[in-house]
Chain A
Amino acid sequence: MLLIECPWCGQRAETEFSYGGEAGITRPIDPSALDDAEWADYLYMRNNPCGSIKELWNHSQGCRRWFGVERDTVSYKIAGSFKLYAGEEK
């Protein structure tokens, strides 16, 4: 069981969260400018790193906010959590 730090609520059990996969995948601004391979890369291709990953979690059974976690995919050790957007204080 992972112990995940919600930036707003503090450390909680993994079962309170849902997983959002690799962080930092941004939807292309102008999809129609892409060819099929580029669009497939955005939709389906992933780095799937063996080691350090930055990933998205949602505190779905709590404050319901999205945030980022840096974690090692082999040891599962969590390096820390981070907020996704500048100015996202409160």
Chain B
Amino acid sequence: MKYSALNLLRNGLRHNRDWPEAWRHPEPKSHYDVIIVGGGGHGLATAYYLAKEHGLRNIAVLEKNWIGGGNTARNTTIVRSNYLWTEAALLYEKSMQLWEGLSNDLNYNVMFSQRGVYNLGHTLQDMRDIERRVSANRLNGLDAEIVTPDQLKRAIPALNTSASARYPILGASLQRRAGVARHDAVAWGFARAADALGVDIIEQCEVTGIERRNNKVTGVQTSRGHITADKVGVVVAGHASVLANMAGLRLPIQSHPLQAFVSEPLKPVLDTVVMSNAVHGYVSQSDKGELVIGAGIDAYNGYGQRGSFATIEHALQAIIELFPSFSRLRLLRLWGGIVDVCPDACPIISKTPVNGLYFNCGWGTGGFKATPGSGWAFAHTIARNRPHELNAPFSLDRFATGALVDEHGAAAVAH
């Protein structure tokens, strides 16, 4: 059923009893042309674009829990494309352009809100880096501008722009087309649209082995039995190394806890997104009124979906430094995800040494914004058995050739 104002009214009058399920819950078939492992936003988007752009129909997404319950459900939903290096900027900008039409394309309101993202500078070096990044962004055709403390003061009254602050704000970069989106809606919207094109979404189905013959993938073992496949695309975020291990591969990935939290709801106080690298915190306000606040990664490796208290304290110190009036707020909930951190803070969207096996990982702390673009590029790579020019620089062999795309620190805060 197409979602529309008319159908909303019609179903409302029937007490919402007749809405069909948004996606089917089929039993796994014994064979698929393509299996996508991982039902986060990236996996669901990959399946959708495989069906939509490449005409494939016999596709399954295998998810060990429920779809969208991993990092997709746990992130602070910042979407922007103002990365320093051309390779990264063009990839994230492709994603941004997909975001701009996504709700219509999926017939699902992903609540993409282009409320702007400010990256604050607190030191002379910060400001030089910002000048450089904004100039690089403009050369790549992205919208980017530099704003002064005076402009910040007018745009974000709650922000402490006083020159006597412990870390005075000297200016910021602003990407006006950047913003936030609704994380669950992104997973559900892609799931529903992929399902409508015949994709089987199979939840509670953990992949436990990757089968190969003569260095060619032949299928997967799962908690719901053996399934054969011509091609397997793995996009499991924090568990990338675990899946690589099943195929005898090693990845340059470290899995870390990354934490976030929300405050109690309050009246509108912040209508944009503020990030600061120097004090390390980022905050926006959800439509429910909660402040959504993110921390940096915990230093140690961890698959536990939780981190240490000191990390939370550190992030909150930064937020209070920026917004002293938030100091009275109580936190409602806090949680962690498992982020797959790559040495150059850029993703891997790539073929592997095993024929028919593809990996998409390494998005670390910043892959939500890339969900549509990542799925789009990964689908191309799987369907054509070669990368699109947008993701060719993000192959696994860049670690051997040395052609890293070093976005560490270069791209403001890495979320």
Contact = CB atoms under 8 A, between A and B. Distances in A.
Contact of B303 (A1, A15, A40, A50): A50
B250 A45 contact: yes
Nearest to A43: B399
A49 B303 CA distance: 9
A15 B310 contact: yes
A74 B303 contact: yes
Nearest to A18: B299
Contact of A37 (B255, B309, B343, B400): B400
Give the secondary structure class of A's interface.
mixed
Of the listed residues B241, B242, B300, B310, the one surrounded by the most CB atoms of chain A closer than 10 A to its CB is B300
B157 interface: no
- Using C-beta atoms within 8 Å of the partner chain, give the interface range for chain B: 20 to 34
B250 A41 contact: yes
A1 B300 CA distance: 11
B300 A36 contact: no
Contact of B241 (A43, A47, A76): A47
A58 to B, nearest CB: 11
B28 interface: no
A21 B254 contact: yes
A1 B252 contact: no
Given A15-B310, A19-B299, A76 B253 contact: no
Contact of B304 (A18, A45, A73): A73
B168 to A, nearest CB: 27
Contact of A74 (B254, B304, B400): B304
Contacts of A53: 301
Contacts of A1: 308-310
Nearest to A44: B252
B242 A46 contact: no
A70 interface: no
The contact size tier of chain A is 20 to 34
B401 A73 contact: no
B304 A48 contact: no
Nearest to B341: A48
B303 A44 contact: no
A80 B399 CA distance: 34
Contacts of B56: none
Interface in B384-415: 399-402
B299 A47 contact: no
Nearest to A41: B250
Contacts of A41: 250
Contact of A19 (B255, B300, B402): B300
Contacts of B401: 36
B254 A55 contact: no
Interface in B284-323: 299-304, 308-310
B196 interface: no
Contacts of A18: 299
B251 interface: yes
B262 to A, nearest CB: 22
Interface string B244-259: 0100001111110000
B338 to A, nearest CB: 9
B31 interface: no
A75 interface: yes
B280 interface: no
A40 B395 CA distance: 14
B239 interface: yes
Nearest to A13: B310
A60 B385 CA distance: 48
A48 B303 CA distance: 10
Most chain A C-beta atoms within 10 Å of own C-beta, residue among B239, B399, B402: B399
Given A50-B241, A74-B304, 5 more contacts: A44-B252, A45-B399, A47-B241, A49-B241, A75-B304
11 contacts: A15-B310, A18-B299, A19-B300, A40-B399, A45-B399, A46-B251, A47-B241, A48-B301, A50-B241, A50-B255, A53-B301
